[in-house]
Structure 1
Amino acid sequence: MKLRLLLGAAALPLSLLLTQQPAGAASAGPMADAFAAASSAYEVPRDLLVSLAYSETHLDGHRGEPSAGGGYGVMHLVTGKTLDRAAALTGRPVPALKSDDAANIAGGAAVLRSYADALKLDAAARKDAGAWYQAVARYSGAASPEVARLYADTVYDLLAGGVRATTPGGESVTAPARAVTPDLGPYAKAGDLDQPRALAASTDYPSAAWAPAHSGNYAVSSRPSSDAIDRIVIHVTQGSYAGTISWFQNPASGVSSHYVVRSSDGAITQMVREKDRAFHAGTYNRRSVGIEHEGFVDNATWFTDAMYRSSAALTRNIADRYGIPKDRTHIVGHSEVPDATHTDPGRYWNWTTYMQYVTGDSGGATNPHTPESVCGSGYKVIDSAALGSAGTVYLLYNSGNGYNCVTTIKKTSVGTATATSAYLEVEGKARVTDSGNFAYYAGPVRASAAGKCVRWGGKAGTSTYDSPLEHCG
């Protein structure tokens, strides 16, 4: 019965779908109308649709051109996967699903609803955005549960923190911040790629998470003894962070990169060891380390200061370890590689800013991370304590989900692994601590603390801070 109801909605003409807005909803523009219509027709929470689309494409359909992973439109419908499923569910032609925003949004909503039906979400459950977590994770198409969780966590961070975006056509689309408790289901047991210290045993760069590319997408080697490493190649993913990680784990892709950097906060995942040859830059594969950056070359909104700073710190670290000069002869864009057919990082990539960050005084390097970038979207600093000159420990709160977060940000020995820690103790619960030799920060340590008092603190260098029981409620 559920499937027949879904197909009944899917078969409605697009013109009728666009009239099915919630009672009292104001018409704000064609894309906002499309989100409202698809939400109503398929009973998918409207703000969840917006958050998913923003995480994938920043609401830019790229004129029907595909991403590197073969995804189309603002909802990133993927050839052979969600695109074909959307066509079957909606009865709409594939060309329309690729290039028409309203059709694409309806297609994405139809696919999400089909996944919700497979999870047996009833009408009441479908009204709870948190109940859709597993459907969102499945929408990712990720090959591993860790990457599916990363994808879903990104969407839910946006949902909690709110979205305010401007489409290529100049339309404003927003989703207000909202409290939501996601039902992780089996994904609660998946490794969390946003907790790199727990997963980074195989990385060459401190604080990077480790998510290995498929073995067929790179060549095992013994660099630099087999081939000198004298170049660093800057790429743009033409896709999302989680989608790129998933694509490099897909044996069909035939490509990879050593690192992937996230737009929102500069988080880094390593996918190929530096000693091995990633397939990223043709004739430069043997001599270079490749760094992919989340985003699209024709949309400047992806290139954040957090991304520039984090990537520059990584580039500086690689250059120092291999003796690579920090100049534009040795740090190049993909488009500058001989015989390259790619245009990335494109005209919106700010080389002046990036190289200034790369060539900064490495002895007194600025930490590229902020407490907000470490803890994630929706978190705001509510308290802090200096740890001498070595760093600062911060307490943050997310009013959208009632969670606190603690992180210690280093100020000295930045880029060098030194003893650093951060902890959070919610009243009546056990203390959770992140402690180790870290290059940039300890944490994030997050816990639900709505209506509770907390103790928090950390250590950097020889300085320690321990709070009293405070910030109650």
Structure 2
Amino acid sequence: MKARLRRSAALLAGSLIPLVCLMGRPASAAPADPLADSFAQAAATYEVPRDLLITLGYAETHLDGHKGEPSASGGYGVMHLVSNPTVHALEQAAKLTGQPVSALKADDAANIAGGAAVLRAYADELGLDATARKDAGKWYSAVARYGNASSPEVARLYADTVYDLLAKGVKAATPSGAVTVAPQAIAPDRGAYAKARDLDNTLAAAAVDYPGAHWAAASSSNYAVSNRPTSNVIDRIVIHVTQGSYAGTISWFQNPAAQVSAHYVVRSSDGDITQMVREKDRAWHAGNYNSRSVGIEHEGYVDNASWFTDAMYRASAALTRNIADRYGIPKDRAHIVGHVEVPGADHTDPGPNWNWTTYMQYVGGSSGGGTNPYTPQEVCGAGYDVIDSAALGTSGTAYLLYNNSNGYNCVTTIKKTSLGTATATSAYLEVQGNTRITDSGNFAYYAGPVRASGAGTCVKWGGKAGSSVYDSPFEHCGS
């Protein structure tokens, strides 16, 4: 087969112009996008349907080669040719095309040819003849194998994603134009994969912590069984970007060689969610925060904003909100953090293209600006009413509250700026004749509450936010 493929490449190399004409572009037309030309040439050389080849590449990388840098699972280039301890598609592509591995990693045209060659090799192993190869639906099993899935159900998820995209059409921006695939109705021949569980339409309510999520268990080699929150408090949610595709990430977390996992994976196109580790267990996703956090992976790449869709933001935010409500985690940027913000982290995700403002608005918390979500009454508790306040410049307000039912005063300083970011803030209360009580430190939203019994006794109170300070005299002696 290898010799036959190489002979085909050699014969076609000498007739590229007629080939391009056969693909529908007149010889007199302006040059097409180089990436589009690379797909056309590779598709013709290896007799792979051009639109299917493009759509597969788009499902993997949005046609972004990432300058030869590997994905989380060791995939390279536009066609995500994988090289890791258990998958050697990159090396297979090198043998089939005669191209060096270095070129297959970094050169778009070589990488696309490599992907086409591997896909054709899988088709040959399936016994697709020349007639069958012209029908994109007959390539389903070859596409499923290309995803290097760890199970039939994930292989089906991978292939279904490609064919769903083919039905919708593709338009990918490139540095010199765009690569497009028109929407088309293809009837995929799933073969043996028709019997595999459909993760997109199968729920496992008994297995998942978040209603509506699908369940696909990570390898037991990639997380630690635990008994949280009994064994460890859960007080953080960590936002990740997969550096790979949805199905590819699920497959990687099921690979014992990965030594990594997350509790959830969210799909870019529609916000579909798969849970892979129970929340009670410690997924291996955030180093020092593994014991205290829930990890959510988002399909895509840090340096490509096209993956971060509104559907993804909304679905992920609903998941985050649900987790925060169940564990009493504040919906703020001190507790909902990016991987890059984890102490000791060497990752950059979710990166500068992740829209924290939009995401936190969907979560229902604070993105670091806007209005403080906490009120003095919420901080001090039921039964307390504000009886005095003092502005701390533009940085915040100090409040004095009193509870008529028990005779207690309460002081809190509510921030107005740097919301969600821990900055120096303080609040104090001194009941005449007693020691002053102070709450001082770096806080995201407020200092306090500071409470003390003060019925019928004068009090001093105050606080600090930013560079502004307020200190009251002894007052409110009848409260």
TM-score range, shorter chain: 0.7 to 0.9
The answer to whether structure 1 residue 298 and structure 2 residue 303 are counterparts is yes
Query: Could you tell me which amino acid in structure 1 is paired with residue 232 of structure 2?
Result: D
Query: Residue 196 of structure 1: SS of its match in structure 2?
Result: coil
Q: Does 1:249 align with 2:254?
A: yes
* SS at 1:269 equivalent: strand
Larger radius of gyration: 2
Q: 2:473 — aligned with what?
A: none
TM-score normalized by structure 1? 0.73
Equivalent residue number for residue 244 of structure 2: 239
The alignment covers a number of residue pairs equal to 358
Number of the residue aligned with 1:322: 327
Within the candidate set 184, 190, 195, 2:196 is matched to 190
> 1:98 corresponds to which letter in structure 2?
K
Specify the SS of the correspondent of 2:218: coil
1:10-49 correspondence to structure 2 within 5 Å: 10=9, 20-23=19-22, 25-26=24-25, 27-49=31-53
Paired with 1:299 and 1:15, the residues of 2 have a C-alpha distance of: 36
Q: CA distance change for structure 1 residues 30 and 200 in 2, over 3 Å: closer, same or farther?
A: farther
TM-score by length of 2: 0.72
Between the aligned partners of 1:218 and 1:196, the Cα distance in structure 2 is: 24
CA shift for structure 1 position 7: 3.5
Whether contact under 8 Å (1:18, 1:37) holds in the other structure is no
Amino acid across the alignment from 1:183: D
Of 265, 270, 274, the residue aligned with 1:265 is 270
**How far apart, CA to CA, are the structure 2 residues paired with 1:204 and 1:14?**
55
CA distance, structure 2, for counterparts of residue 22 and residue 279 of structure 1? 52
Alpha-carbon shift at residue 337 of structure 1 (Å)? 0.1
Task: Find 1:105's aligned residue among 105, 108, 112.
Answer: 112
Picking from 332, 335, 350, the partner of 2:337 is 332
User: Quick one: distance in 1 between partners of 2:117 and 2:322?
Assistant: 45
- What residue in structure 2 maps to residue 59 of structure 1? 63
Check if 1:149 corresponds to 2:149. Answer: no
Kindly state the Cα deviation for residue 261 of structure 1 after the two structures are TM-superposed: 0.2
Q: 1:352 to 1:88 in 2, by over 3 A?
A: same
Give the match's secondary structure for 1:87: helix
The answer as to 2:94 corresponding to 1:87 is: yes
Instruction: In structure 1, give the amino acid aligned to 2:228.
Output: R
Q: 1:139 to 1:17 in 2, by over 3 A?
A: farther
Gaps of 5+ in 1: 362-473
Q: Deviation digits for residues 268-307 of structure 1, max 9, x if unmatched?
A: 0000000000000000000000000000000000000000
Deviations 1:208-256 (A, max 9, x none): 0000000000000000000000000000000000000011011111000
Post-superposition CA distance 1:58-108 (Å, at most 9, x none): 010000100001000000000142111100000100000011100000000
3-state secondary structure, aligned to 1:233: strand
Per-residue deviation at 1:196?
A: 3.4
Tell me, in whole angstroms, the C-alpha distance in 1 between the residues paired with 2:137 and 2:279. 39
Pair 1:133-2:137 in alignment: no
Tell me if structure 2 keeps the 8 A contact 1:238–1:295: yes
SS of structure 1 residue aligned to 2:22: coil
Q: d(CA) in 1 for partners of 2:10 and 2:321?
A: 54
Contact 1:196 1:208 in 2 (8 A): no
Instruction: Give deviations 1:111-157, integer Å, cap 9, x for gaps.
Output: 00000000110100000000000000000001100110000000000
Q: 1:208 aligns with which of 196, 213, 218?
A: 213
Q: What displacement does 1:170 show?
A: 3.9
Residue 120 (structure 1) aligned with residue 124 (structure 2): no
Q: How many angstroms does 1:360 deviate by? A: 6.7
2:258 counterpart SS class: coil
Letter in 1 for 2:194: A
What's the RMSD between the two structures over aligned residues? 1.8
Unaligned runs of 5+ in 2: 26-30, 367-479
Q: What's the CA shift for 1:11?
A: 5.9
Q: Residue in 2 aligned with 1:353?
A: 358
Give the secondary-structure state (helix, strand or coil) at the position aligned to 1:228: coil
Contact conserved, 2:47 with 2:133, CA < 8 A, in 1?
Answer: yes
Q: Distance in 2 between matches of 1:58 and 1:18?
A: 27
SS at match of 2:185: coil
Instruction: Using the TM superposition, give the Cα deviation of residue 3 of structure 1 relative to its aligned residue in structure 2, in angstroms.
Output: 5.4
